[in-house]
Amino acid sequence: MINISRLAHYQRQDLKNLMLLLQEFVITYKDNKVKINYQSRPVILFLSTLVATAGFGAYFTVRNILTKYNEYVLNKRLARPALIRQSSTILKNGSREIFIPKGKNKVSRIIIPKPNLDQYAADKYLYKNFIINQEIQSQQRGTIFSSKFLSQLAIIWRILIPKFYCKNTSLLLSQCFFLLMRTWLSLLVAKLDGQIVKNLIAANGRKFSRDLIYWLLIAFPASYTNAAIKYLDSRLSLGFRTNLTRYIHDMYLDKVMAYYKISLNTNDIQNIDQYITNDVAKFCDTLSGLFSSMGKPFIDLIFFSVYLRDNLGTGAIIGIFANYFLTAALLRRATPAFGKLSSRRTHLEGAYFNDQLNLMTNCEEIGFYKGSIIEKAKLQESFQNLMSHVNKEINISFPYSILEDYVLKYTWSAWGYIFAGLPVFLDEIWPAQDKPDTKADKKAVAANERQNMRQFIINKRLMLSLADAGSRLMYSIKDVNQLTGYTDRVFNLLTNLHKVHSPRYNFGSALGFSDIHGTIQNNYNDGIRFEKISVIIPSSLGSENEPLVENLNFQVSHNKNLLILGSNGCGKTSIARIIAGLWPLYRGLLSKPNDDDIFYLPQKTYFTTGNLRDQIIYPYTYNDILEMGYNDDFLYHILREVKLEYLLKREGNFNVVKDWKDVFSGGEKQRMSIARVLFKNPKLVILDESTNAVSTDVEDYLFELLQKKKITFITLSHRPLLMKYHDFILEIEEDSSWKFHDLTSEENLKSIDNEINEIEDKLAQVDKWEKRKSDIEKYLDGKYEDIAIESSIELPAPLTSQNCSR
């Protein structure tokens, strides 16, 4: 049992002693006024920080005022609905002007410079040469300072900081300045700490109070410096990610359609969305954080070593760094391959995310098929693979963390205490046989002890800081290893983007060397022409792959419609992909109109995120149609022409935002795609099974509408009934052969007339065949005599048991 009364007595005694101590300190403070040296470093740093803060505040205030004024002028100039703020416009100098909404009737204007396409073409050889050099050189075992990692980082660095005079350079230089500032402040704080301890031991209240004020003053610039480093770290990461993402988007989303080509190249890269979103962000965060996590310890090692060398001697510094290098070598040999582990984990996370995305995208179809069990099995498999790898990472990291923590925290701190105490143990003020007799000698001994205590506190703090700097430098090995994994993935993404960005990209070569010998002639005004073209699926075999259709050779003149007829999988859509430039043309000559004059309707209609208006005008924006002189009345007229005007009553108005792919029926989706054709009004449209979900009467109406609008169309279908709307027909057989017919020629018209006559003759014999069917049914029912009398047709003998036995 605890004696409560005794415990209370001790508490009252401690409180009494504390009051006496404070009373003595107050008396000392009254007798000795504290004098502050306004020229001291803490005061100057404090005042400088205040001035700098006020200067930055004034700068940002003026900038915000100017920004708001420019936005006010811009809003006044652009007196349009807020809906256009999401659009973008190409300026005369090639830059892109983007309007971003910032609230009700407010807009912000952002200018993105025009991409330098020549730079992308030049950068392509950097990645090619890197692959060639890696094939020649043997791979180094080390993952931190390997030539592969440094070479990859040097190439990517050209994207992060493209030129010296840029925003990221200023951020990086500012971060280096504050890192130096923080190390210098740490040195001042260590000296001030030793002085405070010395004054406390000497019971000098005046100096103690003065140094305590200095401590509070210097704490403000120190805190400001730490916050500035964190701020610049985040800003630098954002700047790196902005440059890298824009560089990727310029290649990924352009007229070459690299986003489609790279989706076919699954052998080299998978789940590209994981690369662009997650890997790029982690790479930029890790790289920007590495400057502070490695820069600060490295600067501390230099500054503190120079200062300690004067106090401890060169031998002690050599011993300290010898210990650092030995333990660093030990940890480096014991460090697992964190880069590979991190890269593998990111890949597995992408696979699991992709399975989840597939489930969300196709939830309705999976629901109809009752496929919950098999989808659950797939998700569990991908999740189990991820968890197994995470468990592996945890198990590998555990023994290394024990070794790392023991060496860096405790071993290095012990050596710090030993080296910091050397001056105290070695400095013998009085010989062993001499003893201080006089009061002056005793005061000198006491003063020297206080000085030794002060020096020990300073040395101890700096040694611990030095040990902490070295330990953080060793801890950063993990960050470097993780950065190695992220750098490899980002570099792999950029390499593949440069490969597919080439207009003559070949899937069969690791370096993208081309065996594509086909030629595409644009701006062909006399229809479309195929000359000895082979339709080949892009693959690692390249032009050696088996063609779907071989040696296509025909021409369709302007204002003539073509029907490409064939069964599923024969290569109809593949021809459209070659015309659109999605697939390479390995052999032959393709002559076609300008790409801006061709409109494609794929089998699966795509609906963008937005309102009903956006579904009609896709791929244009509302700002575009306003500049064209169109309005909602024009769009309503288009809906009436495709018999979809009831959507405005059903959905409300053009501004309604929904998930339209789930709202429209199959027929409505196809009529909406025809509405896009009417809005675009192209010279040529390619229809890939674009009317197979509508009724026959609506299909007739839509084709007649296109003919009325004088829009030339190429139809890909497996339905021969569509021949009546076309002038030419290309029949593709299953054995890769093909036949081309001119349906308007006299020979084909005669053959069609003959076929019609044959069908009419067969229709004339329908009654006779119906009578024959009736007689056979009566015969099967056993009415033999009635059949013979009525029809006078000789019928076979009735079935008997003997006949059956025979």
- pLDDT tens for 37-59 read 666 777 777 777 777 777 777 77
- Encode pLDDT of 360-382 as tens digits: 777 767 776 677 788 888 888 88
Instruction: State pTM to two decimals.
Output: 0.68
State the chain's mean pLDDT as an integer.
Answer: 75
Phi then psi for residue 98, to 5 deg, are: -120, 135
pLDDT on residue 429: 43
pLDDT on residue 48: 78
pLDDT on residue 559: 87
Judge contact between 46 and 218, C-beta under 8 A. yes
* Residues contacting residue 8 through CB under 8 Å, at least 6 positions apart: none
- Encode pLDDT of 238-270 as tens digits: 999 988 998 888 888 877 778 888 877 766 677
Residue 210 scores a pLDDT above 70 = yes
Residue 111 scores a pLDDT above 70 = no
pLDDT on residue 397: 79
- Encode pLDDT of 440-496 as tens digits: 555 565 556 555 555 556 666 666 666 666 666 666 667 787 788 888 889 988 888
Of the listed ranges 270-274, 276-280, 300-304, 692-696, the least confidently predicted one is 300-304
**Confidence tier at 28 by pLDDT (50, 70, 90):** very low
Residue 80 scores a pLDDT above 80 = no
Q: Chain-centre distance of CA 612, in angstroms?
A: 29
pLDDT on residue 711: 92
- Total residues belonging to the chain: 806
Other CB atoms within 10 A of residue 706 CB: 19
pLDDT on residue 291: 79
pLDDT on residue 30: 47
- Encode pLDDT of 495-504 as tens digits: 888 888 776 6
* CB environment 98-112: b (16+ within 10 A), e (fewer): ebeeeeeeebbbeee
pLDDT on residue 801: 41
Q: Chain-centre distance of CA 30, in angstroms?
A: 66
pLDDT on residue 11: 45
More confident residue, 17 or 282: 282
Judge contact between 754 and 726, C-beta under 8 A. no
* Angle between helical axes of 147-160 and 117-136 (0-180°, round to 10): 180
Residue 86 scores a pLDDT above 60 = no
List, as one string, the DSSP characters of 151-180.
HHHHHHHHHHS-SSSSHHHHHHHHHHHHHH
**Confidence tier at 704 by pLDDT (50, 70, 90):** very high
- Encode pLDDT of 504-538 as tens digits: 666 655 444 457 788 888 888 888 999 999 898 88
**Bridge partner residues of 611 (DSSP):** 657
pLDDT on residue 671: 93
Dist. CA 213–CA 215, nearest whole Å = 5
Judge contact between 591 and 521, C-beta under 8 A. yes
More confident residue, 739 or 213: 739
Phi-psi region of 797 (alpha: psi -120 to 50; beta: other; left: phi over 0): beta
Phi then psi for residue 745, to 5 deg, are: -75, 160
pLDDT on residue 352: 84
More confident residue, 124 or 290: 290
DSSP H or E run through 224: helix 205-252
Judge contact between 679 and 617, C-beta under 8 A. yes
- Measured CA to CA in angstroms, residue 532 lies from 52, 535, 552, 586 at distances of 73, 10, 5, 11
Dist. CA 128–CA 125, nearest whole Å = 5
More confident residue, 703 or 758: 703
* Residues contacting residue 749 through CB under 8 Å, at least 6 positions apart: 743
pLDDT on residue 456: 59
Residue 805 scores a pLDDT above 70 = no
Choose among 288, 278, 347, 334: nearest CA to 477: 334
- Here the tokens at position 604 are 């699966």
Angle at 804 between CA 802 and CA 805, to 5 degrees: 65
Dist. CA 199–CA 192, nearest whole Å = 11
DSSP H or E run through 414: helix 412-426
Task: Over range 137-151, report the average pLDDT.
Answer: 60
pLDDT on residue 310: 58
Residue 275 scores a pLDDT above 70 = yes
pLDDT on residue 423: 58
Other CB atoms within 10 A of residue 315 CB: 11
Task: Over range 394-416, report the average pLDDT.
Answer: 73
Domains, the chain, ordered by start: 78-114 (no CATH), 124-430+437-501 (1.20.1560.10), 519-607+664-744 (3.40.50.300), 766-805 (no CATH)
Other CB atoms within 10 A of residue 239 CB: 22
* CB environment 456-470: b (16+ within 10 A), e (fewer): bbbbbbbbbbbbbbb
pLDDT on residue 589: 93
Dist. CA 538–CA 507, nearest whole Å = 6
- Encode pLDDT of 656-678 as tens digits: 888 888 889 889 999 999 999 99
Dist. CA 278–CA 457, nearest whole Å = 46
Q: Which of 197-206, 738-747, 793-802 has the highest mean pLDDT?
A: 738-747
Strands 598-601 and 684-688, sheet pairing: parallel
- Measured CA to CA in angstroms, residue 258 lies from 74, 250, 467, 497, 505 at distances of 35, 10, 50, 7, 10
Of the listed ranges 91-100, 436-445, 712-721, the least confidently predicted one is 436-445
Judge contact between 485 and 346, C-beta under 8 A. yes
* Angle between helical axes of 41-77 and 205-252 (0-180°, round to 10): 30
* Residues contacting residue 341 through CB under 8 Å, at least 6 positions apart: 389, 392, 393, 396, 485
Q: Greatest CA span in the chain, whole angstroms?
A: 160
Task: Over range 335-356, report the average pLDDT.
Answer: 79
pLDDT on residue 82: 42
Task: Over range 762-774, report the average pLDDT.
Answer: 81
pLDDT on residue 703: 93
**Confidence tier at 29 by pLDDT (50, 70, 90):** very low
* CB environment 387-416: b (16+ within 10 A), e (fewer): eebeeebeeeeeebeeebeebbeeebbebb
Judge contact between 278 and 271, C-beta under 8 A. no
pLDDT on residue 430: 42
Task: Over range 185-202, report the average pLDDT.
Answer: 73
**Bridge partner residues of 589 (DSSP):** 519, 531
What strands lie across the sheet with 528-535, from one edge to the other?
519-521, 589-591, 528-535, 549-556
* Residues contacting residue 567 through CB under 8 Å, at least 6 positions apart: 718, 734
- Encode pLDDT of 280-301 as tens digits: 988 999 888 887 777 777 776 6
Residue 635 scores a pLDDT above 50 = yes
